[in-house]
């Protein structure tokens, strides 16, 4: 009889600029400037396990939705792309609320290097994960096999790309290190608010790269209010 379940072990964690899930891009690759470092568990810190990886440009990461609690099966969810008001089947979406809390992200390799304390580290960009997210497997992206011709995107095909106009003053944005600024602007442009909330007076906040970001949204305009350490 075939196995009905599988026990999987964390092979690594990814270090990112997000300590909470609020503000994280809803898909990998949307904000290419967002970087992370994959640090392996001691058991898997073998140079042999990564032999040949430097020849690839991108990786698939299989990881766990560690910030979500899943208590019972929900056959339908409310995709943010549909404004959070319309239900779709969970298996027709990329919702984090799934029977098995596994995520799939495509990231770009920025570099592979050895750290005296952490062993071999893979630095990647285009991440969409909270700091410390467990990684369960890593597979190379293969263009000849992973690019699907004439692919359709279901209900998302009919949705126009929605981007907010981010308004800020130079003094505020310059509080951030220069390498973090462009990524933050793109994060904000994607509208990090929950899809079901429309409140022009509400001030939102989230942590990013050790800073607290405060903003509000008026129509299609996002106003960056403050950045604090």
Same-domain check for residues 56 and 141: yes
Domain CATH code at residue 57: 2.40.30.70
- What would the two tokens of residue 196 be? 């079901």
**How many angstroms separate the CA atoms of 20 and 10, rounded?**
20
Range of the domain at 189: 160-228
Other Cβ atoms within 10 Å of 89 Cβ, number? 10
Domain CATH code at residue 215: 3.30.2310.20
Q: Which residues of the chain have pLDDT under 70?
A: 1, 69-70, 158-161, 195-198
Q: What is the pLDDT of residue 196?
A: 57
Q: What is the pLDDT of residue 162?
A: 73
Q: What is the pLDDT of residue 198?
A: 67
DSSP state of 93: S
**How many angstroms separate the CA atoms of 53 and 83, rounded?**
39
> Which three-class secondary structure string do you get for 28-40?
CCCCCCCEEEEEE
Same-domain check for residues 142 and 164: no
Q: What is the pLDDT of residue 167?
A: 96
């Amino acid at each position: 009889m075939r196995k009905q379940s599988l026990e999987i072990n964390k092979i690594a964690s990814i270090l990112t600029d997000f300590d909470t899930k609020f503000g994280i891009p809803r898909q990998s690759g949307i904000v290419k400037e967002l970087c992370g470092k994959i640090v392996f568990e001691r058991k898997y810190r073998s140079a042999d396990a990564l032999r040949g990886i430097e020849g690839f440009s991108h990786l698939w990461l299989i990881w766990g939705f560690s910030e979500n609690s899943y208590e019972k099966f929900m056959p339908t969810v409310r995709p943010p792309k549909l404004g959070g008001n319309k239900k779709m089947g969970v298996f027709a979406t990329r919702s984090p609320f799934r029977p098995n809390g596994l995520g799939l992200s495509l990231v770009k390799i920025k570099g592979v290097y050895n750290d005296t304390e952490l062993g071999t580290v893979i630095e990647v960009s285009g991440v969409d994960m909270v700091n410390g997210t467990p990684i369960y497997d890593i597979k190379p992206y293969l263009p000849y096999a992973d690019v699907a011709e004439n692919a359709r995107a279901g209900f998302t095909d009919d949705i126009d790309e929605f981007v907010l106009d981010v308004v800020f003053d130079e003094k505020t944005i310059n509080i951030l290190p220069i390498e973090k600024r462009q990524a933050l602007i793109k994060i904000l442009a994607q509208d990090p608010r929950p899809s079901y909330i429309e409140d022009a007076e509400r001030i939102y906040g989230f942590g990013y790269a050790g800073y607290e970001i405060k903003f509000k949204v008026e129509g299609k305009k996002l106003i960056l209010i403050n950045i604090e350490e």
